[in-house]
Structure 1
Amino acid sequence: MTTVLVVDDEYLIVEVLTLALEDVGFMVTQASNGKKALDALHREGPSLVVCDYMMPLMNGMELAKEIRQHPEWSHIPIVLMSGGHAGLASQTPGLFDHILQKPFDVVHFLSVVNDLVGDPPVVGQHTDDASI
């Protein structure tokens, strides 16, 4: 099963994204900050990382740089979710595979995930249109 790592310090965003991803057949693991995300990368070996920009201990940019420096993780696509730092993040080409400006549409988010890692092996119900 394809695993997606969702990293955000806002619990409700993590839960909404987790439910949307699981609803269409992805397995999801969660982390509340970049340091915990690194632990999850070691344990879970996700196929995709979705992270917020502003988080305690390690922001999304620092997390992405750390992922890109490890040969075993450097191929993993990274999607950044940002409320106000999308412009700053886009100034570092190759760091993120996609940048979503908050708020964003969940259906569009799932489309981005499918573009990056393909359809999940188990397809469930699709999520109704909603924004986060």
Structure 2
Amino acid sequence: MKTVLILDDEYLIADILSFALEDEGILTVTAGRGQKALEILDRERPDLIITDFMMPGMTGIEFAEAVRARDSNKNVPMILMSGAQAHLGAERPDLFVEVLAKPFDIAVVLAKVKALLDMDK
């Protein structure tokens, strides 16, 4: 079973994404802060990471850079979801395979996640 790490300090958004992905048969792990998500990466091996941009402690870009610096996670695909800062993620294709704007269309998110996890067959 595939696992997705969801990092968003807005718990309602993390819960919506988590419930929608779990309905598709995807395991999820959530975190509200970048440091907590890095701790989760020490235990879990997610197949995909979805991160917000604006969060306390570190931005989504800082988090993604920290993930890429770890040998065990440097190839995990990451999606950035953001409102006003989406353009900053689009400038970093070395970090993010997709950049999705908030508010998001859950059907679009599910389709992107399933394609990246190679589950759309």
Normalising by structure 2, we get a TM-score of 0.95
AA paired with 1:51? T
Tell me the residue number matched to 2:80: 80
Percent sequence identity is 44
2:40 match: 40
**Matched residues in 1 for 2:8 and 2:28: separation?**
13
Q: Structure 1: which 4+ aligned runs deviate by more than 6 Å? A: none
Cα deviation for residue 13 of structure 1 reads 0.1
Counterpart position of 1:24: 24
* Structure 1 residue 50, shift from structure 2 partner: 0.3
Q: Which residue of 2 aligns with 1:71?
A: 71
Rg larger for = 1
Give the match for residue 96 of structure 2.
Answer: 96
What SS class does the counterpart of residue 80 from structure 1 fall into?
Answer: strand
SS for the counterpart of 1:4 is: strand
**Consecutive unaligned residues in structure 2, runs of 5 or more:** none
- For 1:117 and 1:42, locate their aligned partners in 2 and report how far apart those are by CA, in whole Å: 21
Question: Aligned-pair distance for 1:96?
Answer: 0.5
1:108 maps onto 2:95 in alignment? no
1:14 aligns with 2:14: yes
The one-letter code matched in structure 1 to 2:33 is N
Map Cα deviations across residues 33-56 of structure 1 (whole Å, 9 max, x no partner): 110010111111111100100000
Using the TM superposition, give the Cα deviation of residue 93 of structure 1 relative to its aligned residue in structure 2, in angstroms.
2.6
- Separation in 2, partners of 1:93, 1:46: 20
Give RMSD over aligned pairs.
Answer: 1.1
TM-score, normalised relative to structure 1: 0.87
Amino acid at match of 1:23: D
Cα displacement (A) at 1:92: 2.0
3-state SS, counterpart of residue 20 of structure 2: helix
CA–CA distance in structure 2, aligned partners of residues 36 and 90 of structure 1? 24
- The runs of 5 or more residues in structure 1 that have no matched partner are 121-132
- Distance, in Å, in 2 between the alignment partners of 1:17 and 1:90 is 21
